[in-house]
Amino acid sequence: MGLESSSDRESILTILKVLGDLLSVGTDRRIHYMISKGGSEALLQTLVDTARTAPPDYDVLLPLFRLLAKVGLRDKKFGQKALELEALDVTLILARKNLCHSQNLLHCLWALRVFASSVTTGAMLGINGAMELIFDIVTPYTRKRTRTIRVATEVLAALLKSKSNSRRAVNRGYVASLLRLHQDWHSHDTASTYVPIRRGFLLCLKHIVTLRSGREAFLAAQGMEILFTTAQDCLDDKSVEPIISEALQILRLCYPKSPLPLVTASSAYAFPVPGSITSEPPCVLTEEDFEDDGDEDVDRGSSSEDVKEEDDDLETDVDKLSSKPGLDRPEEELMQYEAMCRELSCSFEELESQFGDNVNFGEIQCANHHIPTAASSKQHCLSKDQSCRGQENEETAQTSLLHKVKIGRSTVHLASRKRPVMNPYQNVQSNGLGRDSSGNEIPNDQASLKEDAEDLDAIFCSRLRAFFSNSTRPRETATVIDKLLKTHPKRMPFHDPYLYVAKAGSTRSVVDFKTMAFPDIWGHCPPPSAQSLLERKRGVQRIKILEDVRRLIQPSDVINKVIFSLDEPGALQDMASNCLRFFSQFESGNLRKAIQVREFEYDLLINADVNSAQHQQWFYFEVSGMRSAVPYHFNVINCEKPNSQFNYGMQPTLYSVKEALLGRPTWIRTGHDVCYYRNHYRQSTAATGGAPGKCYYNLTFAVTFPHNEDVCYLAYHYPYTYTALMTHLDILEKSVNPKQVYFRQEALCQTLGGNPCPLVTVTAMPECNSTDHLEQFRHRPYQVITARVHPGESNASWVMKGALEFLVSSDPVARLLRENFIFKIIPMLNPDGVINGNHRCSLRGEDLNRQWLSPQAHLQPTIYHAKGLLYYLGSIGRSPVVFCDFHGHSQKKNVFLYGCSIKETLWQAECTVGTSTLLEDVSYRTLPKILDKIAPAFTMSSCSFLVEKSRASTARVVVWREMGVSRSYTMESSYCGCNQGPYQGLQFGTGELEEMGAMFCLGLLILELRSASCSHQLLTRAATLLNAEEEGLDHHLQR
C-alpha cells in the first residue's frame, strides 16, 4: 500500500486504478484482506488529504469515492474510521460545493451512505448538517437527476436510524416534508418508474415513527390518511409492492394504541378458591420487541412457522436431569390409591359380580364394531336390534386397525384427496341424494324444519332467553330435545342425547350454566372426508389492516354497538334489529362481548380464564339471526398467542342446527379470508403498573352461513365438553361385554369446582378363575394415559376418545392390549377448566401442567392424586411401561411426542462434561419411531427429547425424573392438520384425531412386541394375527 507515502498525483491515480481493477474482479476475500492491512484508513486519509488541497482534484476524488463505497460496505468499522480520520466533514463540504454538479455529488453521497451505516457516525453526520444537505438535494417529482435523488433518500434513511437524527427530523418538520414528497412522487410517477425513490421516502418515515414524537408528528400531518390512500390506490399493483409493504408497516406502527373495550381484563367469571391466586404475571413486551415484525411476515414462506425452542432453556444441571426417586408426601398416604387398583386384589368372583350379568349390555350400542378410523365414511352405528355381543362377532371384526397403518393407507387417502371437501354442507346438499352420511333418508321437510327452528329459537336463542325463568329451563330443553329426537331420529355411535341432558344436570359450573349447547346434546358425526388446508389468499392480511385503518380515519359507517356482553347483564340486543345474536353461557362457552362494527362485521372478545386476566385463545359461542349467503366478518380481537396456525391453513369450526336436523350433525371447518395478526390493542399501563402493556392479536375470518335464521355455533376447535366425556364413559361402560372387558370408572378426586375427575381402568377379564389366569391378570404391566390438562386443547379429548373406544373394541389388537396390560386413564385432568370455557388454567388461574413438582391436595387435587396414583404404582413395583399426557399444539402441524433424554439435552446444550460416563437407555425413542411408521398423522421429525428448565414441573418431566419412567411423554396433536404423510395438505377432522388415539394404542402393542421382556405367548399370538393380516406390518415387528 503505497497511497500514504505517495504525494505524486500520477502514482496515486495509478494505484487507485490498479486497486479498482483488482477489487472489481476480486472476491470479498480480496477486499477483506485489504481492509485487514489498513486499506480503509489509507483510502480515507488520501480522501482527506486530496479534499484539503485547493482546488480539490476530482480526477483523484471520484475513483477514490468509488473505492471507498466498495470497501466501506465490507468494513464493519468503516464509519468509526471515517469519523476518526475526519473524513466526514470533508465529504460534507465537497457535497455542498457540488450541489449543482450531479456526478461529483453522486460520488459524495455514495461515501456518505456507507459512513451513515454506522449509527454513531450517522449521528455525527446529523449534527454536522447532513440532513439539511439531503433536503437540498431531494425535490418534488422530477425526471432529472433521479439517480442522485435515489441515493440521497438512501443516505437519509440510513441517517434516520439514529434516534437523535430522527428527533431532529421531527423538530425540523421533516415528517410533513417527507409526506408531501411521498404524495407528489406517488401522484406523478404513474408508470412506477421510480419505486426505489418512493420507497426511500417511506423508509425515512418508518425510522422516524419508531419515536413517539415521530408518530405524533405523523398523525398530526395526516399521515394515516395519506398512506392509507396510497396503499388503497395501488394494492393490486405488484410493481409497487415494496411501497405498499412499507406504507402498511408505518400505518401499523402509527395506529394509536388503545386498551381493549372491556371494563377489566380480568375474567368475567370469578370463583372463590382456596389459597391465593397465583396467576403468573402477564408477560410484558415492549414496543421494541415488535419493531422487526414485518407486515405479511407469514407470506414470506413457512419457515417462520416453527417456533424454535430457546437453547438457554435447556436443563444442563446433571443432578436435575438425573432420576430422583422420592416422595413429595408421607408414604402412608399412598394407601388410599389401593382402592383405585382393585384389579390387583379382588377375587374372580368379585370381578364377576362387580359387573354382573344384569348390566344392560348392548342397550345403547355395541362398541365391538367401532374402530375409529379417519377415512371410514360409514358410521358404525347400530340400532338396538343390530347390536351384538363381541364374542359372536369376532369373525366379522376384520376391519382391524392393522389395515389402517400408514403404509397401507395411501389408496384410501388418495381417494379422499382427489376431492377435498371444502364445504361438506354444500357437498351434501348439492348431491341431491337426500341421504345423510349413514345412508339414511333425510327428513327434508322444510315445513317441519321451520317449526323445529322455532322451537330451537325458543330454547337456544338468546333473543327469547329472557322470557324463560331459570328454574324451568332444563325441563324446557329436555322437552324440546325430546320432540326433536322423535321427529329427527339420528343415532350416533357412542352418543346419547338423553343421557347427555341427564349428565349435564350434575356438571357444576362457576356461574351455574342453565343452558346446553345444541351440538353437545345432539352430537357430532365426522364429515365423510377430511377438509383441505385453506389456501391463503394473497394480501388478505393487508386488506384487513387497511380495513382497521379505515375504521379510524373514516368512521362514518362504523356502528360500534355492543350487542352481547357478559359484563352487562340484561337485554342488550334490539330484537327488531337485523344484527346477529350471540350467546355463550353454556359449558365450554366463553364469548365475553360482541360489538357490531358494520352491518356484517363483528368484533368479538373472549373471556379470560376464570380468576385470571389472560389466556384468551379458545372460543366457543352460539350465533343466530343470520341471513344465508351473506359473508359475515368476525374479528376476535383479544387473542394472545403471537402466531397461529390460522395463518397456515387452519379454519375455525362451525355447527349448524338446521344442518343437524337435516341429518348432517357435523362440526365442519369453515371460514374464508382467515388471518391472524397483531392489532393496536394494548393492555392498559394501569394494569401493568406503568410498564408497557402486552399486545393483542386479531383472529379474523368470514363465514357464510348455510341457512337463514339458523342457530349456529362457532369454535376454535371441535368442542368436547366434560359432560360429553361423562356421557361417553357411561356409554362405553355399558357397551362392553363384561365377561371379556374389565372396564371400571371411578372418581380420582373432586375438583375445586366440585366435579368428579374420572379415572378409567381397562384390561381384559381373566378367562377363568384358575390361579394361572388370575396371576397373569394381576401381573399385567400398567400403561398410564392422561389428557386435557389444558382445557382449550379439545383435540386431546378427541384423541383420547379414539383411544378409549379402540381399547374396549373387539379389534384383535385391542384384545391383545387388554390381555397384556392394565390401562389407567385419566381422560380429563382439568374438568373445571373445560366446563368454564378456560383455555389454559384451573379455577385458580394456574396452569396445572406446571404444578407436578409439588401439587397440593387442596389446591391442585387432580394433579396431586394423579401423581399419587403413579407413586402408588411405583411403590408396589408397578410403574407404567409408558406414561403419556395428550395435548394440543397451536403452532405446529402433525402429531408428535415430547420425551426426556439426559444425553440429548446435554448434547443440544453443548454441555458434554461427563456425558461419556452417563448411561442412558435409548428406549425412549422406540415408541415415537413406531408411531412414525404406523400412524398417518404422526411424524418423528417434530419429536423432541430435550428437558427444558421451563418444563421442570410438567407431567412428562416429573413422571420421568421422580417416578423413573423412561418412556414418559407429552403427545402433541396439531389444532390444524398435516404437512407430511398421507394426510398432507389436510386439516384434522375428529376422525383423524380419534384414529390417532387408536394408533397410539397399537404403538404400545408393537413397543411391547419389540421389547426383550415380551412373553413368548404374546409374540406367538401377535405373529398369528399378523399373518392373518396383510404383510404390511411385518417389518415393523421385526425385533
**To which H or E segment does residue 971 belong?**
strand 968-974
Per CB under 5 A, the segment of 232-240, 656-664, 680-688, 880-888 that binds Zn ion is 880-888
Spot the catalytic one: 972, 992, 994, 1008: 972
Tell me the window of 199-207, 436-444, 483-491, 787-795 that interacts with Zn ion (CB under 5 A). 787-795
Contact between 840 and Zn ion by CB under 5 A: the answer reads no
CB of 869 to Zn ion, least distance (A): 20
Segment contacting Zn ion (CB under 5 A): 344-352, 433-441, 785-793, 872-880? 785-793
CB of 586 to Zn ion, least distance (A): 23
* Piece of the chain touching Zn ion by CB under 5 A; list 50-58, 168-176, 804-812, 879-887: 879-887
The 10 Å Cβ neighbour count of residue 357 is 9
- Which CB, 254 or 895, lies closer to Zn ion? 895
790 is a contact residue toward Zn ion (CB under 5 A): yes
Cβ burial, residue 447 (10 Å; 0-12/13-18/19+):
exposed
User: Three-state DSSP class for 145?
Assistant: coil
206 lies in the site for Zn ion, by CB under 5 A: no
For 4, the grid coordinates are 500514504
**Rounded Cα distance, 670 and 678, in Å:** 22
627: cell is 341471513
Any contact of residue 892 with Zn ion (CB under 5 A)? no
Q: Is 717 one of the binding residues for Zn ion (CB under 5 A)?
A: no
Is the omega angle on the peptide bond into residue 527 within 30 degrees of 0, that is, cis? no
Residue 183 CB coordination number (10 Å): 18
Looking at 663-793, list the stretches that DSSP marks H as alpha helix, in order from N- to C-terminal side: 722-735, 771-778
Interface stretch with Zn ion, choices 443-451, 769-777, 812-820, 886-894 (CB under 5 A) = 886-894
Q: Residues binding Zn ion: what is the number (CB under 5 A)? A: 3
Q: How far is the CB of 789 from Zn ion (least distance, A)?
A: 7
| DSSP codes, 574-643 | -TTS---EEE--BTT--EEEEEEEETTEEEEEEPPPTT-S------EEEEESPPTT-EEEEEEEEE--S-
Asked if 956 touches Zn ion (CB under 5 A), the answer is no
- Minimum CB separation of residue 887 from Zn ion in Å reads 3
- Please say which residue, 198 or 790, places its beta carbon nearer to Zn ion: 790
**Contacts to Zn ion from residues 647-676, by CB under 5 A:** none
CB 481 within 8 A of CB 665: no
592 forms part of the interface with Zn ion (CB under 5 A)? no
Nearest to 681 by CA among 668, 667, 694, 699: 694
Q: Which among 233-241, 630-638, 687-695, 885-893 is the span making contact with Zn ion, rule CB under 5 A?
A: 885-893
> What one-letter code names the amino acid at 159?
L
Return the number of the residue (527 or 888) whose C-beta is nearest Zn ion: 888
d(CA 1008, CA 1013): 8
Nearer to Zn ion, 856 or 891 (CB): 891
Cβ nearer to Zn ion, comparing 833 with 861: 833
Q: Reduced to 3 states, what is the DSSP secondary structure of residue 733?
A: helix
Q: How far is the CB of 788 from Zn ion (least distance, A)?
A: 9
Of 481 and 996, nearer to Zn ion (C-beta) is 996
Exposed, middle or buried, 671 (CB in 10 Å: 0-12/13-18/19+)? Answer: buried
Interactions with Zn ion, residue window 247-266 (CB under 5 A): none
Q: Smallest distance from the beta carbon of 839 to Zn ion, in angstroms?
A: 10
Cell 365450554: give the residue: 588
Cα–Cα distance between 714 and 580 in angstroms, integer?
A: 13
Separation between Cα atoms, residue 720 and residue 71, nearest integer Å? 64
Considering beta carbons, is residue 519 or 845 the nearer one to Zn ion? 845
In the complex, minimum distance from the CB of residue 807 to Zn ion, in angstroms, rounded to a whole number: 22
Shortest CB 784 distance to Zn ion, Å: 17
Rank residues 63 and 888 by Cβ distance to Zn ion and give the closer one: 888
Q: What share of the chain is helix, strand, coil (3-state, %, to 5)?
A: 50, 15, 40
Q: Taking a C-beta distance cutoff of 8 angstroms, is the pair 179, 205 a contact?
A: yes
Q: Which of 199, 887, 951, 1036 binds Zn ion (CB under 5 A)?
A: 887
Query: Nearer Cβ to Zn ion, position 793 or 811?
Result: 793
- Residue 997 near residue 811, CB atoms below 8 Å: no
Active-site annotation holds for 972: yes
Instruction: Give Dmax (Cα) for the chain.
Output: 115
Give the span between the Cα atoms of 468 and 471, in whole angstroms: 8
Min separation Cβ 649 and Zn ion, Å: 21
- Piece in contact with Zn ion (CB under 5 A), picked from 739-747, 791-799, 998-1006, 1028-1036: 791-799
593 binds Zn ion (CB under 5 A): no
- By CB under 5 A, name the binding residues for Zn ion: 790, 793, 887
**Catalytic positions, written as ranges:** 972
